[in-house]
Amino acid sequence: MSSSAPLTDVTAALELQGITKYFPGVIALQDVSLTVRAGSVHAVCGENGAGKSTLIKIATGAQNADEGVIRIGGEVLDRPNRRQVQARGVRAIFQERQIAPDLSVTENVLLDCLPTRFAKVQWRVAKQSAAERLAALDIDIDINAPVRSLSVAQLQMMEIARAVSFDARVVVMDEPTASLSRHELDPLFAVIDRLRAAGVAILFISHHLEEVFAVADDVTVMRDGMVVGQGPATGFTTASVVQAMFGRPVDTARVHRDVVVDSSKPLLTVTEVCSNRLDHVSISVAAGEIVAVTGGVGAGVSQLAQVAAGGTSPFSGSVQVADSSGVQHKVRGRRHALSLGVAFLPADRKRQGLLLDKSVADNVALGLQAAGTSPVFTPRSVRSAASALVPRANVKAANIDVVVGTLSGGNQQKVMIGRWMGVDSKVLIFDEPTAGIDIASKFEIYAELRRLADAGAAVLICSTDFQEVGQVADRVVVMRSGRIVGEVSGREATEHQLLDLEMSL
């Protein structure tokens, strides 16, 4: 393990020394120090709740530290705000998109600094400037295109161009690959290399350790708001970073399941479905089976999850769910799917899956309310149900009254799983089940999915994470451009094998 002493360098672009931040009842950051050198990539690793988000907010001026010193280019800033930090060349690319979808690429790249004269925008100058910024990073995007027409990868590149269009000294990248497929990573890494070669310092935050080792020069590992490991990336291994993150070794090996399922009697059957981005897709999942569907961003994976759960009606084809007698029933919408025992966990848990300002108990009870298992829900009945379900879902919270928005991403996902345990759902459909979740929480969720399948549920996972599906699935189906292009067993589902299937003609 590398030393936890802070890195120092005379070429430091950003220095955080002794940063401490208090919130009511908790110390979010305690004596955190790190240095991001000019022309280098400094990765910050840690589980959900380790303090990374708070650190980013302080580094970008969105929040002030209660103790500690911030230096940008050697200049000490006393309680800086976002505008002061930006004026000194610190820019951030957040996981949440910061775009104006109805404006053009030119307008988004130069957002807040469109060239004007006599209160009118100089469009010729603006377009030339935007084109130059994109060309400098070798990014090929039509500057006149409306932003809503861009792919996810193009949006990410556009935001990078915007960040460096302000002559950035430091670029903070918060989970920059979260919405990119595997074959879209190389262009992003190439841009990072060009920024580094130009002397830009990059603070890189990612849950994917293979990406950290692909781009980072230096690494800081955080746990419980403190630095527990720091040094050159060459001094770390994946195992040492994971152990530092969690204070214990984490078994990341695939657990092989010797399951015998009756595939002739599936619980969930999707037959020749055509809809937005789906082209004659057929798939089935039997009781006790975990089937994963994967592919690049835009392959139709999320659309399949929506259709299978009854959230979107297909143009043609059908989705059927078997009852306890084996009789197949055609799904006629989300509420009907619920009555047939279909649970759906959306990819965007914050916007579509949870009531972030409500308690764990209230969120868990939503499953019972949606299924209509009782006409009346009293506070006592809600607490009683939650008290039984929260331990079953392995949710780590001080008590069931904790506000769900304060939990880590992994525990928020477990709350949604616990919600559907209460109604004994026999078909569970997960859309990007571990997006933005740390490694240890991912494997806890994988173990929970296996337990649900072993108890007789049919589990369908729709995920663009090739590593994830190989860890948990019994069968893996690969999609491209809305069609199924291949299938392999879970044991054979290596990332290389899945990429080969995705790219095959």
DSSP line for 489-500: EGGG--HHHHHH
Q: Helices marked H in 40-104 — which ranges?
A: 52-59, 82-87
In percent, how much of the chain has pLDDT > 70? 91
CA within 13 Å, CB half, 355 = 12
Predicted pLDDT at 3: 42
Maximum alpha-carbon separation in the chain: 75
| Higher pLDDT, residue 284 or 47 | 284
Closest C-alpha among 61, 484, 2 to residue 228: 2
At position 235, the amino acid (one-letter code) is G
Count of CB atoms situated within 10 Å of the CB of 223: 18
* Closest of 79, 55, 65 to residue 225, by C-alpha: 55
Q: Which CATH architecture has domain 12-246?
A: 3-Layer(aba) Sandwich (3.40)
| Interatomic CA distance for residues 187 and 432, integer angstroms | 23
Q: Where are the domains of the chain?
A: 12-246, 266-503
Contact indicator for 377, 462 with CB cutoff of 8 Å: no
- Helix, strand or coil for residue 318? strand
CATH code of the domain made up of 266-503: 3.40.50.300
Q: Which residues on neighbouring strands pair with residue 291, listed in sequence order?
A: 460, 475
Pairing of strands 458-462, 226-232: unpaired
SS3 300: coil
> What is the model's pLDDT at position 251?
66
pLDDT at 182: 66
Ordered alpha helix ranges (H), 24-117: 52-59, 82-87, 105-109
Indicate left, alpha or beta for 376 from its phi (over 0: left) and psi (-120 to 50: alpha). beta
Q: Note the pLDDT tens digit of each residue in 32-49.
A: 999 999 999 999 998 877
pLDDT for residue 2: 44
Strand pairing category for 75-77 and 67-72: antiparallel
pLDDT band, residue 505 (cuts 50/70/90): low
How far are the Cα atoms of 265, 322, 329 from residue 286, in angstroms, in the given order?
6, 10, 15
Which residue, among 97, 95, 96, 77, has the nearest Cα to 87 in the 3D structure? 77
Band the pLDDT of 246: cuts 50, 70, 90: confident
Window from 7-21, 236-250, 280-294 with minimum mean pLDDT = 7-21
What strands lie across the sheet with 458-462, from one edge to the other? 342-345, 427-431, 458-462, 290-294, 475-480, 483-489
Same fold for the domain at 12-246 and the one at 266-503? yes
Quick one: which of 209, 205, 206 has its CA closest to 252? 209
Given a contact cutoff of 8 angstroms between Cβ atoms, the answer to whether 475 and 460 are in contact is: no
Region at 31 (left for phi over 0; alpha for psi -120 to 50; beta for the rest): left
Could you give the percent of the chain with pLDDT greater than 90?
Answer: 36
- Compare 396 and 84 and report the one with higher pLDDT: 84
**Residue of 187, 92, 93 whose CA lies nearest to 141:** 187
Evaluate if residue 1 carries a pLDDT over 60: no
Q: Who has greater pLDDT, 492 or 293?
A: 293
Answer whether residue 96 shows pLDDT above 80.
Answer: no
CB of 200 closer than 8 Å to CB of 168 = yes
Check residues 501 and 108 and name the one with the higher pLDDT: 108
Q: How far is CA 255 from the centre of its chain?
A: 23
